[in-house]
Amino acid sequence: MLLHASGGVPPYVWSVASGDLPEGVTFTPEGCLCGRPNKPGTVTLTVRVEDSGHPAHTISKEFTAVVSAPLLIEWLQPPKVHDNRIDGSVQVSNSSKENFDLTVIIVAVADNGRATAIGYERFPLKAGANSVEILFGNTLPHGGYVIHADAIAEIPARGAILRQRLQTPHPLQIAQGP
């Protein structure tokens, strides 16, 4: 998206006066909001434009936008260790107007790089479906495991693929083996 200004003395220089751009988006001095947000949420920021006059004139304007994701996966019950098991649940949502063929796979990746599937679902996710719960869990040998939850949505009507991933910030430790 390219922002425009009128009046004053061109060329104009644009900047973010306050607030934070969403992850995945940049803002150029030419006024281009470039990229695609990585996460949904509400963004509020103030942009400023300055002309080339002497003295320079500036004006600022606040913008608020709601960023939505057509495919969203979130921890419902974050992964937790129970004895020699890791269990939890995710929820998936389709905020688009298209039906998805959805595959969700949850893997526990050990310190040595070996991945073990601890959850798998494949099903149609209708347009507008919200907060569909998927449980996961499995018994694992002792060691540390980073949990990855991947959602892959195929949109047959367009031949498009959407992907989202969650990952635990640090390995979960299983102290005793099965």
Give the pLDDT score at 110: 96
Instruction: Give Cα separations from 82 to 107, 144, 177 (angstroms).
Output: 17, 13, 12
Over residues 129-137, mean pLDDT: 95
Segments of the chain assigned to CATH 2.60.40.3880: 71-174
pLDDT tier at 178 (50, 70, 90 boundaries)?
A: low
SS3 label, residue 86: strand
Give the pLDDT score at 1: 84
pLDDT in tens, 105-124: 999 999 999 999 999 999 99
pLDDT in tens, 17-66: 999 998 888 999 999 988 877 777 889 999 999 999 999 999 999 999 88
- Residue 158 in contact with residue 165, Cβ under 8 Å? no
Tell me the pLDDT of the chain averaged across its residues: 92
CATH 3.20.20.70 is held by the domain 71-174:
no
Specify the pTM: 0.68
Q: Is the pLDDT of residue 177 over 80?
A: no
- Residue 105 in contact with residue 81, Cβ under 8 Å? no
